[in-house]
A and B are shown apart, each in its own frame.
Chain A
Amino acid sequence: MPNYPRRGPLRRPGASSAHRLRWVQPPAAPPTPSKVRISGWHEYPPDRIACRIDAPNGAIGRWAEDEPLAENVLTGITLSDEIPGGCKDSGGILARDPRLDFRDEEVFGRVKFYQPGVSKVWEGYLDKAPDVSGDQMSISPACVGNQKHLEGNSAIKLGIIDCDLNKWVGPSAQRRQNLIGGNRPHQQEAEVTFGPVFGTGLRFSVSDDWVALLFPRARLGTTVKAYLSELYMGTGSKVMATLCLNYMFVLQTTRLQLDLKAQEIITLQLVGQSLGDQPVLTSSTHLLLGFIREPLQAQRATHSGSPLTTSR
Chain B
Amino acid sequence: MGRHGLLLKGTWPNVGYTDKQILEYAIPQVAAPLEVDSESIEDSEYIIPQAWYTEGTAADMVRDVTKYSSWMDWFVYDGLKFEYRKPGTYGKFWKAYVGDSNLNSLGEDSSRLWESVVVSYTDADGSTRTVGPPGSGAGYETPELKLSDTDHPAVRAELTRRDILDLRGLGTPATAITVGKRFLEEANLLSRSGSATLSGYVLDAYGVFWPAACVKSGDWISFVDSSDPSYRKIVGKNYTHDSRAAEIDVDAPPQGLEALLERLQADLIPLGVA
Contact = CB atoms under 8 A, between A and B. Distances in A.
A44 B214 CA distance: 14
B135 interface: no
Contacts of B239: 78-80
A153 B3 CA distance: 20
Interface in A260-302: 264, 266-267, 269-270, 292-296
B54 interface: yes
B53 A158 contact: yes
A113 B239 CA distance: 12
A180 interface: no
B200 A161 contact: no
- Majority SS at the chain A contact face: mixed
A123 interface: yes
Given A77-B241, A115-B213, A152-B31, A267 B1 contact: no
B52 A295 contact: no
- Majority SS at the chain B contact face: mixed
Residue among B29, B66, B79, B124 facing the most chain A CB atoms (10 A cut-off): B124
Contacts of B26: 158, 160
Interface stretch (A12-20, A82-90, A97-105, A135-143): A82-90
B208 to A, nearest CB: 9
Interface string B11-23: 0110111000010
B49 interface: yes
Interface residues of B, number: 76
B125 to A, nearest CB: 4
A232 interface: yes
Contact of A78 (B13, B58, B209, B241): B241
A76 B12 CA distance: 58
Contacts of A149: 31-34, 58, 76, 80
Contacts of B58: 149-153, 156
B201 interface: yes
Nearest to A89: B238
A202 B237 contact: no
Contacts of B77: 81, 86-87, 123
B213 A83 contact: no
A266 B12 contact: yes
Interface in A42-68: 44-47, 49
6 contacts: A44-B201, A146-B79, A149-B32, A161-B2, A162-B51, A270-B8
Q: Which 8 pairs from chain A and chain B are nearest by CB?
A: A159-B2, A86-B75, A47-B211, A77-B241, A162-B52, A160-B51, A150-B59, A83-B217
Given A84-B66, A149-B31, A161-B48, 14 more contacts: A10-B209, A76-B242, A78-B241, A79-B237, A82-B217, A83-B73, A115-B214, A151-B59, A153-B58, A159-B52, A160-B2, A160-B4, A264-B12, A293-B124
